[in-house]
Structure 1
Amino acid sequence: MLILRVIVTMNPSYGGPCQGIRNSIPALSRFGIDNEVVCFDEDDVDYGIEDSFLIHRIGRGVGPYSFNSRLESWSAKNLGRFDIVIVHGLWLHTSFGMYKAWSKFKRHRTKFPSLYIMPHGMLDPYFQKSKDRRFKAIRNSIFWHLFEKRVINGVDGVLFTCEMELELAKQAFFGYNPKKAVNIGYGIQRPPAFNAQMDGEFRAISGLKEDDRYFLFLSRIHEKKGIDLLVKAYMNLTDSGMFSSLPKLVIAGPLLGRYAELMQKIASHQNNIVFTGMLQGNAKWGALYSAESFILPSHQENFGIAVVESLACGTPVLITNKINIWKEIDEGKGGLIEQDDAEGVRNLLVRWIELQDKERSEYRKSARKTYEEYFTVESAASQFCKRLEIDAHTS
């Protein structure tokens, strides 16, 4: 079985889908499934990592749509080698371009691959309703009627990372009618085992003492993430005197843009709120392993890789019900769930602080179990094969 992945870039700095591809390919290979990737990167690009699978770089696309005339000619020569083609993402030439090339290819062949689209949250209605995305929402509506509706309804199926993403996709656009909608799951690789150096590097960057407890936010500092709700709820609890002591609040993410500046300004008189900037490597894993709990009060999150990384480290998560994997986390008792508003975020903090030590310990155990049950790359690979009815052979 040979699968082709189609994506704009495999540059690791873009995270998300390209990291998901890198996570899944080794797990799928143990089921006898090989993968190749075609992307719109230049041939001499250096990703800074060594991939174990073949990547076909056909050159950069043009303009904000990433139009690439080489995709059709490459496809005409190569599609016959593959059993399945999966396009990762929408709204760029990778989706409609591959759909056109595939449609043309199969008109002249008796053997041709199945074609699937994996939106990675790009059909979430949030993106059409958010006030700060009005221009992009109009653009997407136009693109939907011109291109993407034909793609979604014309391919063999649409693949989703979780059941909530699948259900939300039905609400975004008129005329959504795919032949098949499949929740294939999603997973991440196991984190490196904890060691004292990780915690030491994190505390050196953050300035936290060895015995300081803390809540951890680790993500982009963006309006969508609900950080304003978190900072205000934390400050409200601090000022109220409701608790004799609170864990500190660590906000880890790139300190870029006006919103990040505003959040720092609001929290500037509060000594217990620490902005670390972006954490990587040992410092990142130290922050995740040693946190009291991980908190992400997001208004929209398709999967939330950092949420799952926290679970994998045995760190409970405090999240909103706008993170699409909240039901799995709630079922596994991997953390606490609330609404994505001021009251909900405050409740997340209060509910956690009011837990007894024994209850917190139980949540830590359940967090790791939730990861093992729902979000390992092995379980995602197994579900992928089962849902797409692939005759897999484990090795």
Structure 2
Amino acid sequence: MSTDTPAPEADTPELAAFRREVVAWLEAHRPADPGFLLPESFMEVGSDEQLAFLRAWQKQVWQAGYLGRAWPEAYGGRGRPQVEQDIANAEMARLKVPFCTNTIGLFWAGPLILAIGTEAQKQRYIRGILSADDIWCQGFSEPDNGSDLAACTTRAHRDGDHYVINGAKIWTSLGNHARYMILLARTDPQSKRYAGLSYFLVPMDTPGIETVPIKKLTGEYGFTQTFFTDARIPASCLMGREGEGWKIAMMTLTFERGASGGQAGGLSRMAVTVDDVIALAQRVKRDGRPAIEDPWVRDQLARFVIESRGDRLSTERQRIPALVSERPDAIPLSNKLRLSEHHRRLMQFALSLQGSHAARWVGDAAAPDGGLWPRSYFNAFAATIGGGPSQIQSNIVAERVLGLPKD
């Protein structure tokens, strides 16, 4: 979700009217509790009923005009100023409505296709991304290569008007539900590292593609391992030219990590915020008294509030050249690292407030808030790994912002 959002008091009369319109629509159309556990993000969607509920919600938001609002009308958007989408995003977050499940399409693949795709690709893919009719997944990570994306061994060799793909990918979020995959594969088997990689938009119903669900520590699914065995895809699935895969993958990651704008909007997860932790501290007991009365707890909460507010203000700061002229890339390149680690530490602190109750899991009647907190804590690690682990993000900031040597 974009946080580059004007405060309500800064709205022009036109934007204030639009904000009221968004709020009225969200309050009138907020879906009722479905009666089953909803995932926190697209990485936890593990059942058909969860996906159906979230797809229906995304389509409703799009049809109302509050998703893809700044994307071109020709492809299913509304062609409106980005600030209107920012306002819609902010109100969705404030009112805690469900997230839009097609995250990889809305936030990564869609912006990439709009930026460098052909006209045929834009016409073919963008509307389905917005409506959630076409769910997307990502085929970057591999079982034997960890976070070393350049060590990609999945092969794609040209055979007439097709490419034949062999290999495996892992941690494929929504892999068993997706219609398309953004895939990085090696088209030059003699190449090493960055050269010889190519980028494809792959139909997941292609014969020879198999997905196997992976059960997570939380008991949820959402991830799969994906196997390619002589899977033949049309040559038109190639994005850009052969050998440009690394460049296009890096562009994809700038969208994924929030360093580049142009995303469709909506919520990418059901955010648990510092305000929720403050409310928790008012309810749980510490030494027989509300935890929030403990000076140490109050001090820690104040630190989290300051950090959270600082992250929001940093996004506004980056729009003012005079404030970021010395290191213009510092904020966008550090966003993913700062936000994911902040959330992980916040969830860990929330657990510390609960004492032995922190061990109570979803389904335990005595679990605070139905087991939300331990589940959120374990799920928080996903964001510190996906899109580049925190260690790699720290190296990126060190090298590209601070100018430190690789060694």
TM-score w.r.t. structure 1 length? 0.24
TM-score by length of 2: 0.24
